[in-house]
Chain A
Amino acid sequence: MSFIMVKHIRKTFKVPIKTEGIIGSLKSFFNRKYRYIKAIDDISFSIKKGEIVGYIGPNGAGKSTTIKILSGILNPDSGSVKINNLIPNVDRKKYVKNIGAVFGQKSQLWWDIPAIDSFNLLKDIYKIDDNEYKKTLNELIDLLNLKDILNIPVRLLSLGNRMKCEIAASLIHKPQVLFLDEPTIGLDAVSKKMVRDFIKKINRQNNVTVILTTHDMKDIESLCKRIILIGKGKILYDGSISKLKKKYDYLRKITIETKDKIDIKRNYIVKEKKFDNKIEFTIDIRQIEINEFIKLLSSKISIIDIDIESSNIDDLIIKLYEEFEI
């Protein structure tokens, strides 16, 4: 049984058209025209309890609209959403108790005072009982190493520490689903790793289902087994990263440095570029394994230096975007 069920949701927005110049502005003042944007166009998926799913796509693809619908903030025009067998707009209060959310560019913490005050307020908002609250809070403090930062006004915290507190705040009521909208945005490499490790821990220990949107493919690589790629409001890919790699990430660039002349023509060599005493081959690794290819090369010429480009998920995603024209 799926924990999160999304069936055929659609959402269209009405946006006023702006015209240029003083006369244009005056004209549209009296007669405003609108255009309709399909933010989400028939999206369905289901997610099992405890999964971490990366929800990716370029800007304006419909990611945050989907997250808003899932969290019950927005109603879809048609289609249905169910989390833990609850429907968002039937019993909002019950539904949102299941949900924690962190929007990377918005804060739910009180800026001028220590985070612990915000946590105490959340305790009252979610009507968490004292003992339960203390237990959860201590768990979070241990897990996140929050001890020293909880009593400092939030505005004085570093971005990484602030994000830690944000995530902790969204977990204080022990939600079963956590939405993370760009949780690592603006963080330095160390803080990014810290946030990722933490998400992993939460997922493992409390079996929290996580839906993550991000532009940082390292987040995806280190956290998610499964990704859902959307573009122009439609799902373009839903499945594991390794499968995706096999399907799209089959080209490798191999650059060799040699003084010898070489002339090989094979089907699996997609491209060949020569400059100075270097040659760059682009090969299709579905047809030949890399070491086979190198063997072949070394049997013909003497190689001074060699560089094999590693697989890069960023490039993979760019390739995908190009392929789907999004």
Chain B
Amino acid sequence: MKSYISYFKLKFITGLSYRAQAIAGIMTQFFFGFVYISVYVAFYESNHSSLPMELDEIVGYLWMSQSLFSLIYLWYKDSEIINMIKTGNIAYELLRPQNLYFMWCSKILGERLSRVTLRFLPVIIIAVLLPKPYNLDISITAFRLLLFIVSMIFSSILMTVLVCLYHVICLFTLDERGVVNIFMVIADILSGLVIPVPFFPKFMQNISNILPFRYISDFPFRLYVGNIDFNEIFISLGMQIIWILILFILGKTLTNKALKRVVVQGG
């Protein structure tokens, strides 16, 4: 356990040293938030029919997704791991006493958390200071804030096991493009990062309610802005836990299977 924590810490610290990257990231996230909101503002200004989300809800949703983007986005490949798989150097990793699956999880979570640490607050602060209607509303009840934090913790774990699963699949395909790419694109769309799930056509909404992707971003953000029923919150929290368990077991079993293959090939 200790070795995973120190590995996590190492990755976290390394992530903190990329200064230019972090500044660029803050600028990007801010710019993108502004861009997305501008599109919605234009839409809302020209339409007054009944819509699935209020403008201020959309704005809050978008700022949350931008400030937490580096934690929750799903189009993520760890080039170090991918290279290890492609070159076959993965065999050396097996010589270590640690479990590969947990190593990868701590690496992914460590890197993602270090990124979000540098980016979250600056984006939030700027977003709060913006003029209406672009600004982020931070008046939220303590109870909802608590629920939001809990859902974000689950969301981070869910993200880790999901992203780790991509890399585990690479162990079988030996190629990070192809299947994994298709998987990532679908995940990206269904997670609500492209457009919020309430704007999906009905059947797509049903699909995304069953799959794990929406519980990483769409659910916590709608919880934050209050665009969600009370009992739905608890159902969704349950879904997060269920999917964490499913993806964890799946990832862990597949890793063991894949590593056996590596050993057999090596022998």
Q: Residues of A at under 8 Å CB distance from B?
A: 18, 21-22, 25-26, 28-29, 32
Q: Are A32 and B19 in contact (CB under 8 A)?
A: yes
Q: How far is the CA of A32 from the CA of B16 in the complex (A)?
A: 13
Q: Are A22 and B13 in contact (CB under 8 A)?
A: yes
| B17 is an interface residue with CB less than 8 A from chain A | yes
Q: Which residues of A contact B17 (CB under 8 A)?
A: 18, 25, 28-29
Q: How far is the CA of A18 from the CA of B18 in the complex (A)?
A: 11
Q: Residues of B at under 8 Å CB distance from A?
A: 9, 12-13, 16-17, 19, 22, 118
Q: How far is the CA of A94 from the CA of B13 in the complex (A)?
A: 47
Q: Are B13 and A29 in contact (CB under 8 A)?
A: no
Most A CB atoms within 10 A — which of B12, B16, B22, B118?
Answer: B16
Q: How far is the CA of A18 from the CA of B16 in the complex (A)?
A: 11
Q: Are A22 and B19 in contact (CB under 8 A)?
A: no
In angstroms, how far is the closest chain A Cβ from the Cβ of B132? 32
Q: Are A22 and B12 in contact (CB under 8 A)?
A: yes
Extra 4 A-B pairs, beta carbons < 8 Å, given A25-B13, A29-B17, A29-B19: A21-B13, A25-B16, A26-B16, A28-B19
- In the complex formed, the residue of B with least CB distance to A29 is B19
- In the complex formed, the residue of B with least CB distance to A24 is B13
Q: How far is the CA of A22 from the CA of B118 in the complex (A)?
A: 12
Q: Which residues of B contact A28 (CB under 8 A)?
A: 17, 19
In angstroms, how far is the closest chain A Cβ from the Cβ of B74? 27
Q: How many A-B residue pairs have CB under 8 A?
A: 18
Q: Which residues of B contact A32 (CB under 8 A)?
A: 19
> Chain A's interface: helix, strand, loop or mixed, by majority?
helix
In angstroms, how far is the closest chain B Cβ from the Cβ of A240? 42
In angstroms, how far is the closest chain B Cβ from the Cβ of A61? 28
In angstroms, how far is the closest chain B Cβ from the Cβ of A164? 23
In angstroms, how far is the closest chain A Cβ from the Cβ of B232? 38
In angstroms, how far is the closest chain B Cβ from the Cβ of A199? 29
Closest 5 CB pairs of A and B: A25-B16, A29-B19, A25-B17, A25-B13, A22-B13
Q: Which residues of A contact B19 (CB under 8 A)?
A: 28-29, 32
Q: Which residues of A contact B22 (CB under 8 A)?
A: 29
- In the complex formed, the residue of B with least CB distance to A22 is B13
Most A CB atoms within 10 A — which of B12, B13, B118?
Answer: B13
Q: Which residues of A contact B9 (CB under 8 A)?
A: 22
Q: Which residues of A contact B16 (CB under 8 A)?
A: 22, 25-26, 29
In angstroms, how far is the closest chain B Cβ from the Cβ of A172? 29
- In the complex formed, the residue of A with least CB distance to B9 is A22
Q: How far is the CA of A28 from the CA of B12 in the complex (A)?
A: 15
Q: How far is the CA of A277 from the CA of B86 in the complex (A)?
A: 57
In angstroms, how far is the closest chain A Cβ from the Cβ of B2? 17
- In the complex formed, the residue of A with least CB distance to B15 is A25
- In the complex formed, the residue of A with least CB distance to B19 is A29
Q: Which residues of B contact A18 (CB under 8 A)?
A: 17
In angstroms, how far is the closest chain A Cβ from the Cβ of B170? 19
In angstroms, how far is the closest chain B Cβ from the Cβ of A154? 15
Q: How far is the CA of A21 from the CA of B12 in the complex (A)?
A: 10
Q: Which residues of B contact A22 (CB under 8 A)?
A: 9, 12-13, 16
16 pairs across A/B with beta carbons < 8 Å? Answer: A18-B17, A21-B13, A22-B9, A22-B13, A22-B16, A25-B16, A25-B17, A26-B16, A28-B17, A28-B19, A29-B16, A29-B17, A29-B19, A29-B22, A29-B118, A32-B19
Q: Which residues of B contact A25 (CB under 8 A)?
A: 13, 16-17
In angstroms, how far is the closest chain B Cβ from the Cβ of A57? 30
In angstroms, how far is the closest chain A Cβ from the Cβ of B174? 14
- In the complex formed, the residue of B with least CB distance to A32 is B19
Most B CB atoms within 10 A — which of A18, A21, A29, A32?
Answer: A29
Q: How far is the CA of A26 from the CA of B17 in the complex (A)?
A: 7
In angstroms, how far is the closest chain B Cβ from the Cβ of A295? 56
In angstroms, how far is the closest chain A Cβ from the Cβ of B82? 16
Q: How far is the CA of A135 from the CA of B192 in the complex (A)?
A: 62
Q: How far is the CA of A25 from the CA of B12 in the complex (A)?
A: 10
Q: How far is the CA of A32 from the CA of B17 in the complex (A)?
A: 10
